[in-house]
């Protein structure tokens, strides 16, 4: 849990006036300017206090939606032994993207780019029969992929934070229901973050399998070209019913019924058949990717269960990834203006920013403390700018940081008994008495 109140005078927020030249896209520029991350090596970042705070918020939304579908959290290590990868055959297949390490005994180790092998081994030793499935397991852990071209800040990092989940079932049919659970959970997860994600049929690459969807948000700065029907822009991922396997199957059917494809899977003829005004052709960012790959790993790693008939069968599996650190960049790409970031409420680092124009003024400071107490008691997280700085600098910084609501405390406002309450999104300012501010903000949430 992060502290509910942060005083800027005591915080570490190295905001920059200008974005460094190497940042090519707006989310990377804003994350650097807002003092959220600092590069340590190509594609490897330190998460500074503000960035870390948002990362934890994103992680928590992801976690809640995994828990909601009955997935169980655990934690696997970042460093793995190469043994299981030799067995699965991926040690050689994975190529240069895998960071290979030797320990002091000259044993082959690696920094995990993904965890199919390790989780299959964990399941193998802990589950025996059809009574032990379905099982949905996930962790949220750092991954390393030695990408050829790490770029766009956290968007394509080498070290990045991923939620990866794995499903275990006794048959293809049951495994597809698990797949559908994750499909719906992803729609909900991204919608809660204010994103319109579009599931698109996708290639399976080094993970494998014959059924896969990428969850894409549309953005000019995305890495892949995407094509879809305009209907996806009007859908709401939170509307989906998922309380039975039939409801889930219907939801997936509905969400895959209109055309949506990445460049790799694009069918120009099918796309051309859509009325021109409904065709959307733009770029997209992949924020999630789900796979059904059946018995690809369980056969090689001998993860078998006894089925209802007493037969020993390899377990059917899928894996489901969300780019937790990438999401931060994706959300900023989707939600900013020329002044800075505009955080959606669910993942804002603080709900309320208080700017004390004259911290040396005792009455102003006392009023700020009173407001802080009321707001934190109501469950809000508060960023309090109590620094001895020019008011203009403080206002600009609060806007850059994207805090949803800002209240200004000044001797003038105190005298008038009326305070400026400004919404970051849209920029509307209201004036109200001190005691009315917190009840008003509570109503807005
Ligand atoms: C699914 C979970 C997998 O690795 N194995 C476990 C499967 N899928 S994936 O598509 O390769 O990755 C899942 C998500 O991780 C994010 N991602 C990245 N984020 C930042 N930098 C990277 N270099 C990077 N590579 C993958 C993406 O959001 C992807 O959807």
**pLDDT one-digit tens code per residue, 178-236:** 999 999 999 999 999 999 999 998 887 777 777 899 999 999 889 889 999 999 999 99
At 4 the pLDDT is 96
Rounded to two decimals, what is the model's pTM?
Answer: 0.97
Arithmetic mean of pLDDT, 260-264: 92
Give the distance (Å) from ligand 1 centre to CA of residue 356: 42
Tokens encoding 373: 């107490």
Nearest CA to ligand 1 atom 17: 323
Per-residue pLDDT reduced to its tens digit, 377-425: 999 999 999 999 999 999 999 999 999 999 999 999 999 999 999 999 9
At 202 the pLDDT is 84
- Cα dihedral across residues 70, 71, 75, 76: positive or negative: positive
SS (H, E, C) the chain: CCCCEEECCCCCCCCCCCCCCCCCCHHHHHHHHCCCEEEEECCEEEECHHHHHHHHHHHHHHHHHHHHCCCEECCCCCEEECHHHHHHCHHHHCHHHCEEEECCCCCEEEECCCCHHHHHHHHHHHCCEHHHCCEEEEEEEEEECCCCCCECHHHECCEEEEEEEEEEECCHHHHHHHHHHHHHHHHHHHHHCCCCEEEEECCCCCCCCCEEEEEEEECCCCCEEEEEEHHHHHCCHHHCCCCCHHHHHHHHHHHCCCCEEEHHHCCHHHHHCCCHHHEEEEEEEEEEEEEEEECHHHHHHCCEEECCCCCEEECEEEEEEEEHHHHHHHHHHHCEECCEECCCHHHCCCCEEEEECCCCCHHHHHHHHHHHHHHHHCCCCEEEECCCCCHHHHHHHHHHHCCCEEEEECHHHHHHCCEEEEECCCCCEEEECHHHHHHHHHHHC
How far is 201 from 207, CA to CA, in rounded Å? 15
Domains along the chain?
12-341 (3.30.930.10), 350-444 (3.40.50.800)
What is the overall mean pLDDT for the chain? 96
Report whether pLDDT(19) > 90. no
Report whether pLDDT(70) > 80. yes
Give the distance (Å) from ligand 1 centre to CA of residue 145: 9
In the block, residue with structure tokens 């600092």 = 38
Report whether pLDDT(437) > 90. yes
Q: Is 326 in the pocket of ligand 1 (CB under 6 A)?
A: yes
Arithmetic mean of pLDDT, 337-361: 97
Give the distance (Å) from ligand 1 centre to CA of residue 323: 6
Burial class of residue 360 in the structure, from the number of CB atoms within 10 Å of its CB (0-12 exposed, 13-18 middle, 19+ buried) = exposed
Nearest to 425 by CA among 351, 349, 343: 343
Q: Are 229 and 273 in contact (CB under 8 A)?
A: no
Arithmetic mean of pLDDT, 95-103: 96
At 204 the pLDDT is 78
Nearest to 200 by CA among 239, 258, 249: 258
Q: Is 383 in the pocket of ligand 1 (CB under 6 A)?
A: no
How far is 316 from 296, CA to CA, in rounded Å? 8
Q: Is 146 in the pocket of ligand 1 (CB under 6 A)?
A: no
At 17 the pLDDT is 85
At 208 the pLDDT is 77
Arithmetic mean of pLDDT, 131-135: 96
Given pLDDT bands bounded at 50, 70 and 90, which one contains residue 22? confident
Ligand 1 mutation target, pool 326, 327, 328, most atoms within 8 A of CB? 326
Report whether pLDDT(3) > 80. yes
Report whether pLDDT(50) > 80. yes
Per-residue pLDDT reduced to its tens digit, 271-330: 999 999 999 999 999 999 999 999 999 999 999 999 989 999 999 999 999 999 999 999
Give the distance (Å) from ligand 1 centre to CA of residue 135: 22
Ligand 1 mutation target, pool 154, 167, 213, 321, most atoms within 8 A of CB? 321
Count Cβ atoms below 10 Å from residue 219 Cβ, excluding itself. 22
Q: How would you label 221-240 residue by residue, b for 16+ Cβ within 10 Å and e otherwise?
A: bbeeebbbbeebeebebeeb
Given pLDDT bands bounded at 50, 70 and 90, which one contains residue 2? confident
Given pLDDT bands bounded at 50, 70 and 90, which one contains residue 251? very high
Cis peptide before 291 (omega within 30 of 0): no
The pLDDT > 70 percentage for the chain reads: 100
At 92 the pLDDT is 93
Q: Are 325 and 157 in contact (CB under 8 A)?
A: yes
Arithmetic mean of pLDDT, 76-104: 96
Q: Is 287 in the pocket of ligand 1 (CB under 6 A)?
A: yes
Report whether pLDDT(156) > 90. yes
Which atom, in ligand 1's list, is nearest to the CA of 288? Answer: 30
Q: Is 157 in the pocket of ligand 1 (CB under 6 A)?
A: yes
């Amino acid at each position: 849990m992060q502290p509910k109140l942060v005083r800027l005078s005591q915080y570490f927020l190295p905001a920059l006036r200008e974005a460094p030249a190497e940042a090519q896209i707006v989310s990377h520029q804003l994350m650097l300017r807002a003092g959220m991350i600092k590069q340590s090596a190509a594609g490897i970042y330190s998460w500074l206090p503000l960035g870390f705070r948002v990362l934890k918020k994103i992680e928590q939304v992801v976690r809640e939606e995994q828990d909601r579908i009955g997935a169980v959290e655990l934690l696997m290590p970042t460093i793995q032994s190469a043994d299981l990868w030799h067995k699965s055959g991926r040690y050689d297949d994975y190529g240069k993207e895998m960071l290979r390490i030797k320990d002091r005994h000259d044993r082959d180790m690696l920094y995990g780019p993904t965890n199919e092998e390790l989780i299959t081994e964990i399941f193998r030793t802990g589950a025996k029969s059809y009574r032990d499935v379905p099982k949905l397991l996930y962790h949220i852990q750092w991954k390393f992929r030695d990408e050829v071209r790490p770029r766009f800040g956290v968007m394509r990092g080498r070290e990045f934070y991923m939620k990866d989940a794995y499903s275990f079932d006794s048959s293809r049919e049951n495994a597809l229901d698990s797949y559908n659970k994750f499909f719906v959970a992803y729609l909900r997860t991204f919608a809660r973050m204010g994103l319109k994600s579009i599931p698109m049929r996708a290639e399976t690459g080094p993970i494998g399998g014959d059924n896969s969807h990428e969850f894409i948000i549309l953005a000019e700065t995305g890495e892949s070209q995407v094509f879809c029907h305009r209907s996806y822009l009007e859908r709401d991922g939170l509307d989906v019913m998922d309380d039975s396997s039939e409801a889930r199957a219907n939801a997936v059917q509905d969400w895959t019924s209109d055309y949506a494809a990445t460049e790799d899977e694009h069918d120009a003829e099918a796309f051309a058949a859509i009325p021109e005004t409904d065709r959307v052709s733009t770029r997209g960012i992949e924020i999630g990717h789900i796979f059904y790959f059946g018995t690809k790993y369980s056969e090689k790693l001998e993860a078998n269960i006894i089925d209802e008939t007493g037969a020993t069968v390899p377990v059917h599996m899928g894996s489901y990834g969300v780019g937790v650190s990438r999401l931060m960049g994706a959300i900023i790409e989707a939600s900013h203006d020329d002044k800075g970031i505009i955080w959606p409420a669910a993942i804002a680092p603080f709900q309320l920013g208080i700017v004390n124009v004259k911290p040396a003024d005792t009455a102003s400071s006392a009023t700020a403390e009173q407001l802080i107490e009321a707001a934190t008691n109501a469950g809000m997280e508060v960023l309090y700018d109590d620094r001895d700085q020019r008011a203009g600098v403080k206002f600009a910084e609060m806007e850059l940081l994207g805090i949803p609501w800002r209240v200004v405390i000044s001797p003038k406002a105190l005298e008038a008994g009326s305070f400026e309450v400004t919404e970051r999104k849209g920029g509307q300012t209201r004036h109200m008495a001190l005691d009315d501010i917190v009840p008003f903000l509570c109503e807005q949430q």
